[in-house]
């Protein structure tokens, strides 16, 4: 299925967002789908970067502030125009009104898709050198498709792990997430997405943490060289991040 009028960049951002925090829906009485996403006001720089990349599907009033959510945080919300090409993408990615992972549309993803997905749902965990993608909306079979896709297309190995989370109602629910349990595998992913990191406030999302000062400096230098941010800027965010991690506090 061709999405003829959309640029490759827009298509890649849409695919990455669907894996992450974005959604496609057809609202009555419209015939065509709209794309939407929202982020906390704390991520406003990343939010507006994304809005700026999606001008070809946006109106002049495509974003607004939402009232505080149940957790007390103010949100920013984006919604696109209703467009035929978005309807085509909706039909490709959804089954019975549910986003359904299939290799057919995963193959449309590119490095910007991985960047957006990681910024939306990725986190560096544990000792500061492993990672996780929060894929709570996907089932185990869908994650198997993604695991195979990441390994074959991007040479990044991930593992599926089950997590139990308590809801606001006190219920315990099980979800499946993708874990990157090796520093080298995480570096593979980060090196793919680093060229697209142009929002300084998102630098912590790619900062590996080391006790060894030489290893830490090597990663600072690599992040600086690939992203274009100065080492001083990278170090500033690194120190802030380490101050929040008990294992790395001086």
Note the helical H segments in 94-206: 103-106, 111-121, 140-154, 183-193
Please tell me the least confidently modeled range out of 24-28, 65-69, 111-115, 148-152. 65-69
Residues recorded for the chain: 250
Residue 45 and residue 193: Cα distance in Å, rounded? 17
pLDDT tens digits along 174-204 = 999 999 999 999 999 999 999 999 999 999 9
Domains of the chain: 8-109 (3.10.28.10), 112-248 (3.10.28.10)
CB atoms within 10 A of CB 250: 5
Compute the chain's Rg from CA coordinates: 19
What DSSP state is assigned to residue 69?
Answer: -
Residue 237 and residue 215: Cα distance in Å, rounded? 17
Q: How many CA atoms lie within 13 A of 100 on its CB side?
A: 9
pLDDT in the model for residue 72: 60
Burial class from Cβ neighbours inside 10 Å (0-12, 13-18, 19+) for residue 61 reads: exposed
Whether the pLDDT of residue 1 is over 50: the answer is no
Percent of the residues in the chain that have a pLDDT greater than 70, as a whole number: 96
3-state secondary structure of 200: helix
pLDDT in the model for residue 194: 98
Instruction: Judge contact between 17 and 57, C-beta under 8 A.
Output: no
Token reading at 225: 């060289």
């Amino acid at each position: 299925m061709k999405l003829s009028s959309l640029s490759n960049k827009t298509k890649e951002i849409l695919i990455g967002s669907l894996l992450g925090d974005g959604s496609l829906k057809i609202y009555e009485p419209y015939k065509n789908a709209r794309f939407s996403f929202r982020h906390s006001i704390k991520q406003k720089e990343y939010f507006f970067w994304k809005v700026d990349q999606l001008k070809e599907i946006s109106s002049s009033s495509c974003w607004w502030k939402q009232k505080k959510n149940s957790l007390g945080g103010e949100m920013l919300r984006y919604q696109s125009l209703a467009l035929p090409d978005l309807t085509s993408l909706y039909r490709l990615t959804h089954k019975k009104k549910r986003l359904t992972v299939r290799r057919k549309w995963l193959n449309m993803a590119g490095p910007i898709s991985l960047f957006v997905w990681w910024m939306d749902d990725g986190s560096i965990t544990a000792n500061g050198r492993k990672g996780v993608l929060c894929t709570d909306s996907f089932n185990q079979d869908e994650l198997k498709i993604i695991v195979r896709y990441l390994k074959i297309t991007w040479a990044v190995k991930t593992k599926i792990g089950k997590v139990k989370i308590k809801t606001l109602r006190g219920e315990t629910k099980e979800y499946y997430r993708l874990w990157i349990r090796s520093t080298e595998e995480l570096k593979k992913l980060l090196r793919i997405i680093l060229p697209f990191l142009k929002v300084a406030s998102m630098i912590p999302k790619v900062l590996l943490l080391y006790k060894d000062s030489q290893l830490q400096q090597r990663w600072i230098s690599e992040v600086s060289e690939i992203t274009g941010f100065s080492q001083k800027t990278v170090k500033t965010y690194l120190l802030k991040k380490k101050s929040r991690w008990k294992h790395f506090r001086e």
